[in-house]
Every structure is written in structure tokens, then in C-alpha cells.
Amino acid sequence: MQRPLFQPAAALQFVLNGQAGHGDADATREAIEAGLREAGRAGTVVFAAPGQLARVAREAAARARAEGSAVVAMGGDGTINTVAQAAHAAGCTLGVIPRGTFNYFAREHGAPTDVEEALRWLLDARPEPVQISAINEQVFLVNTSLGLYPDLLQDRESWKARFGRSRLVALGAGMVTLLRAQRRLKLWIEWEGQQRELRTLTLFVGNNRLQLEQLGLATRDGSSDPAAVDGHVTAVVLKPIGTLAMLGLMLRGALGQLGDASGIERFACQSLVVRPSRMLGRRKVKVAFDGEVGWMRSPLTIRVLPEPLWLLKAAPGATSP
């Protein structure tokens, strides 16, 4: 586990998912540049136009690697995922300034959600290893899934486009998706010497302790040991259930009591292989990872990666500004 070169005086590479000339994006850039001037630090803010985030992130990560600096993702979990993939591949340090709806990854590691506070916190941070996982070759920091959950994410994006970005809108979209859920998956899964065929509405695999805690899923087999991180992910299987039971599960999730529900199963593992059955000639499966949705070739291999992601974090015991 080799720590990447990190020189605090080197110019940080900030990647902002947005276009120059957009009011919110320009205000964020101005706040970052003002904070850097006040702290006497160097940095460059690069805008990623729609469809260009992955390329911009790779270029910024390469510069950070060459200069002994860090690439800083500014956005929600999806944006952070893309920049994290570039940082992990390049072998450089990642920083985060959260600007999304839920910000699970940033919040788990202590980053403030206010831009100015997050920058001050970031400038005092040092690289620390954090767990990163992948589905096939796609990394994920928070979760990955197939079945109902990718459909839920697509509906949520549609609602956000119509009604704006908020947790209430996300909740409403989730309720509509759950109420019309009909498609059941037949999966063959293998993990740590075990094999099983099952029917499910969704398979959800969590890598983020904060999200699992908020759902009431942060313990392994009812024990007090953490189910996420520490070399493991948590797989959650949603059994085929009726509409009323689905509403009950949604309520339990909102109250952080999903772990006690009879409609789900969960287990912790370091890796698992998933083979959907009866795909009617299709070789690709719709999957979600950190809020993004795409298609991947079966079988799906989900695993904790052996090399960590190096993340700028405050020293143990430090408090946010």
C-alpha cells in the first residue's frame, strides 16, 4: 500500500461538473479561488462540460500525479465517483467538496457540506487510505445495485428535472417507483464459497457505512461488528413482496429500521459474483453505481479492491470548521 506523493504547496486540481457562465458554477469557482488566496495556496478550477467529466477528470488526475498534488471533485456522489475512478487509476490523492443531495461519501469522511468550510477543512487535510470497491471494472464508493434500484434512480432524475433537486422530491420519486415495481430478477450468486439461486426485486451492495447506518443495515448478522468497510461490503436482497409490504419497507428505511424487516436478507462479504438467469438473449444488465446508471456485461463481479483510494481527510480528532 504505497502512499502517493503529496506536497501541500503544490497546486490543487479542482474539477467542477458544470459549465463556465452558469451562475452557480461561477459562484463556486469564485468561492474556491477566494479561499485559496486567503490561505495562500495554489489551485486551478477546471469546468467539465456535459459528457466531458471523465476526460477532464483523467487529465486533472494526471497533472496531480505529476505535480505531487491532489485532484478535488466538486459535486454529488456521481461526480465524486467519476473523479475518484480517475484518481485511483492515476495513483494520486483525491479531495472532495460535496455539492449533491445526499453526499454520503463526503459526509462519511467528515467533509463539511458548505463550500467555504469544506475548502478550509480540505486545506488542513492529509492523504489517508479509504476502502474502494468495484462492479466489474467500475469503481463505487457508496453503493451498486441491479433490479429495482436502478429504475428508482432513473425515475428520481426525471423528477428532479421537473420539480427540482431536494430530498423530498427524491422521496416522492422513490415512492412512485416502488408502488409500480413488478419486475423480479432470478439471480445466481456466489460468495466466499457459498452459492445460491434467488428471486428478488433488487440486489443492493453497500460500501458506505453512513448510508447503511441511516437505513438500519450497518451490522452483520445482527452483531455489533460493522458490516461496511473493514474489507467488506454489505449485500442486501429485497424479496418479492406486495405493495403494502413495500410501503412498510420504505417507512422502515426512512426510520433507519430496515435491518429488522422480514422482507430483506443481508450478508457481508469481500466479493461476490452475480449471474442473472433467463436474460432472453441479452448479455448486458442494467446496473447502478453511486447514483449513475449504465449497462454491464454478465457475469457481474463485485469486490473490495486491494488498493485503497487515498483521500484528503482531517487528522484524527480534528473538528470541522
User: 130-156, pLDDT tens digit by residue?
Assistant: 999 999 999 999 999 998 767 777 655
| Dihedral angle of Cα 152, 154, 158, 164, to the nearest 10 degrees | 70
H or E stretch including 273? strand 271-276
Chain centroid to Cα 2, Å, comes to 24
Angle of helix 23-39 relative to helix 115-123, nearest 10 degrees, comes to 40
- pLDDT score at 82: 96
Residue 302 has pLDDT above 70, yes or no: yes
Higher pLDDT, 164 or 211: 211
Residue range 204-259, pLDDT digits in tens:
999 999 988 888 886 544 443 444 458 999 999 887 655 555 556 555 555 455 65
Higher pLDDT, 28 or 61: 61
Higher pLDDT, 320 or 184: 184
Give mean pLDDT, residues 277-289: 74
What single letter denotes the amino acid at residue 57? A
Partners of 145 in the β-ladder: 204, 288
CA atoms within 13 A on the CB side of 252: 17
Residue 281 has pLDDT above 60, yes or no: no
